[in-house]
Structure 1
């Protein structure tokens, strides 16, 4: 992690000019990002540059604002750590060989973290979660679960706001459905010593619990044993019995769940579909069990959520992702703060990512889809900006390759949004990379993407289609992906090639598909189904056998519903699983997978590579011994990029 520097020093090293507000002070002036694009570059960056880990990722301020908890890069490996905003050596928190899923400050000296790990259980692999209290200086780690805790054992429901180290934690205390502790209960826990007091016993069928801003458990979400039936339990205040206020008897039915309980115990906020099928924010009457006034909607897009205020009963703004992520502030003081930051940082799209309790200290990310940028600390008291870490230390705030959102028509007329990254110059009949996102119920937006920028730096046009079924574009668009894995969803990827070729941007005879996770599945499927369209394919952590993946996920509660859901999405599991058709692969494929991947088992790639080799197909397989699903090691990033670069140069050259 880079030491803290005044932005005037941090940005002085950047090559580009800086847009500066008139009259800005010496401390604030150089917080501004580049206002104009750099001239076209001739010299490309070394591969090692794109493999750099972010110095800091996902920073969260302590309540006082004097410390930051974040993922931190140390000697090429990403760790969880805490550092002072005044600089100095960070405290690295040793969490072992686990996934760090989330973290939150409890008070100024303690945090709570949620971790997960795949472990052997009765000859199978299960993903178990746990919660720990962490002293901010890294000297103490407190286990907050029983030894017998199960898969759902890190559900943080509430954090005290009075400075005491108390939380409410929902935890399943057995993995066996026949035991009484199987259904999660809620405990109030002191994170400094793990002492717990039960505040809500487990209730048969209830899997998730929810509390209001005062720490009163108000709602439970219930599932039948197979997960196909759901119920919503509610009470207005502590001491009352829970009653069922909504239920669904099939996966096709929906339940309206409050997003936030308001200070009036009869009122709440919910996020639900409007008349056009886009998620919007509404008032909700808990006595009448009906919606009230619509508070916010974003035409043509779903809203992502709300930013809850310090009381736990109100909100500051709405998260909205259109072509790029954004926040619509509704609190007047936040509107003013955002305007001030916009004035200080020219062209850098300043994003408020974390604030302390009184909002006097703020972490801001400045950057764009073309510039990785970095994180800065803004202090309202003196208007200063301090660098706390870059996303890519070498590139910094330099502008690389142009990124824009386009829309094209699929063969059935459906409009498909896509993110397009262009190499230097005005590309004409350029080689193309089709790069589908993972999920698949996610989306790509105009954000810094080190894969896309790397390939554009090598001269490729990169298109990232948000194929049907992607999230964020309303329920109708998402549902168009049902039953279409490897079918119409795959057609949407092929149709991106047709669209760019028609515009003269891409050469339809020089195309490769590159993807990770579901995107890796799509790359395998392209090599198997549409080999004549693609010169090559690259899969990172891809799924090759949907039935096998279903069995892996089937260990979890609600597997019946998940199986119903997955079958609804993909229809014929066997028929769209590339593993079953190695003889149909007709284009070279590179397959890379991390042995330590806890999201997609490495066996998905091992088996695919084995069958392709047995079938005499052109396959290159790389297994990264310490690699995971999220590239938390710089060495794994670099190995992948070098393999990708060599593979593309051989089979889809510039």
Structure 2
């Protein structure tokens, strides 16, 4: 394959690629930027979309850049449509208010929907922003029309969905705003939306007809994780489940998916992208012996064409074996974790790195994890526990984590270590713990609130102060929203206990060296968490190291700082918990 065009992107962070026919490529990127004085936060991650023509004689453009009256950022992507022979992209953006002198000023941050002529990069207003105190979302129909609009009113929790003529087709009251407009139904005559139930806290999917407003629940008992919506017409074309292959509405597309799954012998298979007729599909595989391989499946010719490897320098025999470990917590709750073993080493009494995930509402799977594999390559077993509160089981398992920060969520981790020791796989006296975000909190908790479990701890952008987390979420970000307060206390536990379960407030109890690493552009967990932890450890005379990563965000988006983080973490563990 030969490159069609190359462009310079500088220090931007690339996030997504999207084709517009065969003529254009939309490149989504983000940058962390300082906010002007007077805003609640200091920094914010702004997203922008670049239009890259395949015709090298056409200029590369950026949507909303240098457009008077529109902020230079994209706040949502509502799909691409072909309208009267022209490609039009639908994006939400912030409109400025024009005053009497003809100049523009910021009025509010509620986005409008704009239709952008891709060839000319000219936006037009397709739908205006919500009123004050409200939130608005849209579905764009196959011909570029506003097929449905969702409005949520924060003051009382009322919501409604209106059709193309402004007729209300569904409404209700949901103070916690757990409603989401998804796409049109498969026939284009209905709207699909998702509601999170108060009773079971599960996601329920509904179809409501545009003509009659008749609604019915769909996909019950299917363990649906996401609806697949066609990018070029806005119609539902399938859905994804917790496990197994995706489900397509069209039988021919489903047969294609089954054929692809059947051709992949091992590892986790993911369908990344496909042509409109689902005859050509881009597939990614990852797992034991597979560091991330990409293929183009040509179903018309029955060919599997390798596209490349994410990490070609890593050979199959250098990749550690990945296992799922089932175990039972001390209170009888069943759970599991992922164990990555060091390659070419006897699996007996291994040194261990415990690596709890972030979220905490997420989970780890038996796939290639670059962080885990880096430590495995140095001789360590790496354990990624899916403690209570993780999303690999049902909602009751997730709810079991509510109010258990530093409590049962933490002992679930050590119970997993005990199971590994029972099986003779690891030496529990030779363990360190590391993690990012919530995982960083768990790492800090493991050597402060917990005692004598680990030889060292590493936190990347970890939460250290639950009081600060509560104040930031409830007071600064939500403006004292009662709903936000309720959800934070549900997650963290009673306010009276926040000090007791904050690692920075328990720094004098630290009984192992701690490495703190934090991105200075982190807009999710502020750097203040690592700084407070470092100051508390210093005051208590405890061993620690603080590493500040300039220009790095919460997600380790830059290769240079990602490499530095990994080198710092490896060096720290090898110093305090040598593999040999």
TM-score range, shorter chain: 0.7 to 0.9
2:69 paired with 1:142: no
Please report how far the alpha carbon of residue 391 of structure 1 lies from its aligned counterpart in structure 2 after TM superposition.
1.3
SS in 2 for 1:530: coil
Aligned residue in 2 for 1:336: 255
Looking at structure 1, the residues matched to 94 and 170 of structure 2 have their Cα atoms a distance apart, in angstroms, of 22
Q: Which runs of 5+ in 2 are unaligned?
A: 98-104
CA contact (8 A) 2:13 2:557 kept: no
* C-alpha deviation, 1:555, in angstroms: 5.1
Question: How far apart in 1 are the matches of 2:393 and 2:438?
Answer: 19
Q: Is the 8 A contact 2:449 2:506 kept in 1?
A: no
The 2-side partners of 1:454 and 1:102 are apart by: 26
What is the alpha-carbon distance in structure 2 between the residues aligned to residue 224 and residue 373 of structure 1? 43
CA spacing shift, 1:470–1:148, aligned 2, 3 Å: farther
Q: 2-side partners of 1:369 and 1:271: how far apart?
A: 35
| 1:516/1:542 contact within 8 Å kept | yes
Partner of 1:54: none
Question: C-alpha separation between the residues in 1 aligned to 2:424 and 2:184?
Answer: 53
Matched, 1:208 2:166: no
Query: 36, 41, 46: which is aligned to 1:121?
Result: 36
Cα distance in 1 for residues equivalent to 2:11 and 2:466: 27
* Range with bigger deviation, 272-281 or 612-621: 272-281
Matched, 1:197 2:117: no
What are the equivalent positions in structure 2 for 1:456-467 lying under 5 Å apart?
A: 456-467=376-387
User: Does structure 2 retain, via aligned residues, the 8 Å contact 1:170–1:209?
Assistant: no
Distance (Å, rounded) in 1 between the aligned partners of 2:485 and 2:8: 37
Q: 2:94 aligns with which of 166, 172, 175?
A: 172
2:394 corresponds, among 449, 474, 482, to 474
**What secondary structure does 1:121 align onto?**
coil
The answer to whether the aligner puts 1:218 opposite 2:137 as a matched pair is no
Deviation at 1:305, TM superposition (A): 0.7
Among 157, 160, 166, which residue is 1:240 paired with?
A: 166
- 2:331 is aligned to 412
Give CA deviations for 1:423-448 in whole Å, capped at 9, x if unaligned.
34552332222211111121111121
Distance (whole Å) between structure 2 residues aligned to residue 221 and residue 480 of structure 1: 32
Q: Is residue 159 of structure 1 aligned with residue 80 of structure 2?
A: yes
Could you tell me which residue of structure 2 aligns to residue 262 of structure 1? 185
**Equivalence for 1:107:** 21
Give 1:396 shift.
Answer: 5.1
Q: CA deviation at 1:642?
A: 2.7
Matching of residue 307 in structure 1 with residue 228 in structure 2: yes
Q: Which structure is higher in RCO with an 8 Å CA cutoff and minimum separation 6?
A: 1
Distance 1:235 1:626, change over 3 A: closer
User: 2: CA distance between counterparts of 1:102 and 1:207?
Assistant: 25
Does the CA contact (< 8 Å) of 1:158 and 1:211 recur in 2?
no
Query: C-alpha offsets along residues 618-642 of structure 1, whole Å, 9 cap, x if unaligned?
Result: 1122223343333344433333333
Deviations along 1:255-309, one digit per CA (max 9) or x if unpaired, are: 55453322656634445679976546565566466434546614xxxx3212234
* Residue 3 (structure 2) aligns with: 88
1:589 aligns with 2:514: yes
Give the whole-Å Cα distance in 2 for the aligned partners of 1:494 and 1:148.
55
| 1:613 matched residue in structure 2 | 538
Secondary structure at the residue paired with 1:393?
Answer: coil
Tell me, yes or no, if the aligned pair for 1:133 and 1:142 is still in contact at 8 Å. yes
Write the deviation string for residues 383-407 of structure 1: whole angstroms up to 9, x where unpaired. 4444433111112555722212222
The CA distance in 1 between the partners of 2:19 and 2:134, in whole Å, is 27
Residues 486-495 or 150-159, more deviating? 150-159
> Using the alignment, how far apart are the partners of 1:293 and 1:182 within structure 2?
34
Shift of residue 156, structure 1, vs aligned partner: 1.5
The separation in 2 between residues aligned to 1:496 and 1:203, in whole angstroms, is 48
SS at match of 2:570: helix
- Against the structure 1 CA distance between its residues 645 and 170, is the aligned structure 2 distance closer, same or farther, given a 3 Å change threshold? closer
**Judging changes above 3 Å, is the alpha-carbon distance between structure 1 residues 308 and 522 closer, same or farther for their aligned structure 2 residues?**
same
Counterparts of 2:378 and 2:45 in 1: how far apart (Å)? 41
Contact between 2:245 and 2:258, CA under 8 Å: does it hold in 1?
Answer: no
Q: 1:184 aligns with which of 104, 107, 111?
A: 111
Question: Which position in structure 2 is the counterpart of 1:23?
Answer: none
How big is each residue's C-alpha offset from its partner over 1:163-212, in whole Å with a ceiling of 9 and x where there is no partner? Answer: 6231222223369xx97654322222223444232222222133231214
Name the CA distance, whole Å, in 1 between partners of 2:554 and 2:112: 31
Hey, what's the Cα distance between the residues in 1 that align with 2:318 and 2:149? 48
Residue of structure 2 in register with 1:564 after alignment: 486
Q: Quick one: distance in 2 between partners of 1:361 and 1:276?
A: 39
Match of 2:500 in 1: 575
- Equivalence for 1:40: none
TM-score, normalised by the number of residues in structure 2: 0.84
Distance 1:114 1:558 in 2: 29
Distance 1:193 1:546 in 2: 49
**Root-mean-square deviation (Å):** 3.4
- State the alpha-carbon separation in 1 of the partners of residues 516 and 306 from structure 2: 38
Residues 1:527 and 1:150: Cα distance change in structure 2 (over 3 Å): farther
| SS state at 1:413 partner | coil
| Counterpart Cα distance in 1 of 2:479 and 2:307 | 42
357 and 243 in structure 1: CA distance in 2 versus 1, 3 angstrom threshold: closer
CA contact (8 A) 2:52 2:60 kept: yes
Scaled by the length of structure 1, the TM-score of the pair is: 0.75
Worse overlay, 400-409 or 327-336: 327-336
Aligned pairs, number = 553
Instruction: Decide whether the 8 Å contact of 2:138 with 2:181 is kept in 1.
Output: no
Task: Find the aligned partners of 2:208 and 2:240 in 1 and give their Cα distance.
Answer: 19
Where does the alignment leave 5 or more consecutive residues of structure 1 unmatched? 1-85
